[in-house]
C-alpha cells in the first residue's frame, strides 16, 4: 500500500481565464462560473454592528472606570484602566451582539 503511486490528476483544479465586461481586469474562476460580488449590506449585518457598538461603548466606559480607581501608583492605575477596558468591552460586545440577535427580523 505504501509503495502505490498516487495520481494527482484528480486533485488539480482547472482554472479558466475570464475577462470582465469592462476589460479592466482578468480573473480566473473554476469551471467558468462568474465570480460572485459581495453584497455590502450583508457584510455589515446587524449582529456585527451591535457587537462592535457595545464593545466600543462599554470598553471606553471601562477605561474611564479604571482610571477613577483609587490607586496611588501610576502602573496600578494603568493596569486598572486596561483591565476594566477589556472586561467591560467584552461584556458590552456580548450584550450588543445578543441584543441585536434577539431583535433581528427573520426572513421568511
Return per-residue pLDDT of the chain as tens, 108 residues. 566 666 655 556 666 665 555 555 555 555 556 556 666 555 668 899 999 999 999 999 999 999 999 999 999 999 999 999 999 999 999 999 999 999 877 764
CA distances 64 to 49, 53, 60, Å, are: 23, 17, 6
Q: Answer yes or no: are the C-beta atoms of 26 and 20 closer than 8 Å.
A: yes
Measured between alpha carbons, how far is 78 from 60 in angstroms, rounded to an integer? 14
Other beta carbons less than 10 A from residue 75's beta carbon = 8
Lookup result for grid cell 462599554? 58
Amino acid at each position: 500500500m505504501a509503495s502505490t503511486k498516487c495520481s494527482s490528476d484528480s486533485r488539480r483544479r482547472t482554472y479558466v481565464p475570464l475577462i470582465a465586461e469592462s476589460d479592466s481586469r482578468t480573473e480566473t474562476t473554476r469551471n467558468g462560473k462568474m465570480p460572485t460580488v459581495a453584497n455590502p449590506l450583508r457584510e455589515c449585518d446587524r449582529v456585527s454592528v451591535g457587537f462592535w457598538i457595545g464593545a466600543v461603548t462599554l470598553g471606553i466606559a471601562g477605561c474611564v472606570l479604571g482610571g477613577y480607581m483609587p490607586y496611588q501608583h501610576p502602573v496600578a492605575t494603568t493596569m486598572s484602566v486596561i483591565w476594566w477596558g477589556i472586561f467591560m468591552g467584552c461584556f458590552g460586545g456580548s450584550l450588543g451582539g445578543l441584543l441585536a440577535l434577539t431583535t433581528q427580523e427573520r426572513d421568511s
